[in-house]
Amino acid sequence: MRIALIADTHLSVRSPECVANWHAARRAIARIDATFSIHLGDITLDGQSDEEELAFASRLMRHWPTPLRCVPGNHDLGDGSGETPLSAERMKGYGEMFGPGRWAVQAGSWLLLGIDAQLLGSGTTEEATQWAWIEQQVLPAGAHTHTALFLHRPLLCRSAGDAVRRGRHVNADATRRLLAGPLHSTLRLVVSGHMHQFRDRVIEGVRHIWMPSTGFVLPDEHQARQGEKVVGMGLLELKGSQACFDFWCPDGMVRYEIDDLQFFQTQAASQKPQLANAR
Ligand SMILES: [Fe+2]
């Protein structure tokens, strides 16, 4: 099974550069034989505060060349940590346009789990429901031997020396529960977005891949460098017990820095742009 991976597309009528890179990704996916694609969140530039951006992105997705499964990002739903409280109404609207925020796919000996990282650490009923759902996915003993987890924020793995900044990673308690809880015996791979950087590391037996944005990077003065500041997309190929990963920047995809983008220059004149939150 071949699975295309994209992240942090930040689609909006205010970000034509990101839309152009989206089309470069779409053309690249049309040229390969992928079974389906996974979007790792931050589909929109600021759908959390402008529902029309969710609708705009949803219209673009209708022309994606494969089935597409999504997990929500902070710029789609808000931030469950309290900076931007989660809205039940916005979560419902998101689900109607992009499908459920959590999903499971069985692929041979692999179980692929997509979860809503915005709920983790929120203390909400929805978070408790998601934890119960995760436990249910591993109940059929022997049904799978490998698990791959897909979510917007990377896990906080202190052994990797990750700097701790609120909102950057899944918080420590939820990270521990994901790594040492019911998924522990089968978890092989964690794929996330959010950082706008590419990184591929194995930490205590689990491979952690940070998918970069298709749209843009943040310069070092806005965000510490912890991986490669590139734009691009990924292809995950599952063969038996193997997970092979390739990263590439397709023809026509431009490596913008956030300062290059029209919306950033417009906002910078009047207020601090919210995307600096990614740093
Ligand atoms: Fe992002």
Compute, in angstroms, the gap from residue 41 CA to the centroid of ligand 1: 8
* DSSP element (H, E) containing 2: strand 2-6
SS3 annotation, 133-188: HHHHHCCCCCCCCEEEEEECCCCCCHHHCCCCCCCCCCCHHHHHHHHHCCCCCCEE
| Ligand 1 centre distance from Cα of residue 228 (Å) | 15
Tell me, in angstroms, the distance from the centre of ligand 1 to residue 240's CA.
32
Q: Any residues with CB less than 8 A from the CB of 78 and at least 6 apart, and which?
A: 48, 84, 85, 86, 87, 90, 118
What's the pLDDT score for residue 266?
87
| Ligand 1 midpoint to CA 74 (Å) | 8
The whole-number mean pLDDT for each consecutive block of 10 residues of the chain, a chain of 279 residues, reads 97 96 97 96 91 94 96 86 68 90 93 94 91 86 83 82 72 94 94 97 95 97 93 96 96 96 85 54
**Average pLDDT of the chain, as a whole number:** 90
Which pLDDT does position 157 carry in this prediction?
76
Distance from the alpha carbon of residue 279 to the mean position of ligand 1, in angstroms: 10
Joined together, the tokens standing for residue 151 give: 């979510």
* Cα 278 to averaged position of ligand 1 atoms, centre (Å): 6
CA of 244 to the centre of ligand 1 (A): 25
**Ligand 1 centroid, distance to 150 Cα (angstroms):** 15
Radius of gyration of the chain, Cα coordinates, nearest whole angstrom: 17
Q: What was the pLDDT predicted at 87?
A: 78
Q: How far apart are CA 150 and CA 57, in angstroms?
A: 20
Q: What is the CATH number of domain 2-278?
A: 3.60.21.10
- Note the pLDDT tens digit of each residue in 151-203: 999 998 765 666 666 678 899 999 999 999 999 999 999 999 999 999 999 99
How many angstroms separate the alpha carbon of residue 64 from the centre of ligand 1? 20
Give pLDDT tens digits for 51-75.
Answer: 899 999 999 999 999 999 999 999 9
Inter-axis angle of helices 88-98 and 51-61, to 10 degrees? 10
Taking the centre of ligand 1 as the mean of its atom positions, its distance from the CA of residue 8, in whole angstroms, is 4
Model confidence, pTM: 0.93
At 279 the pLDDT is 42
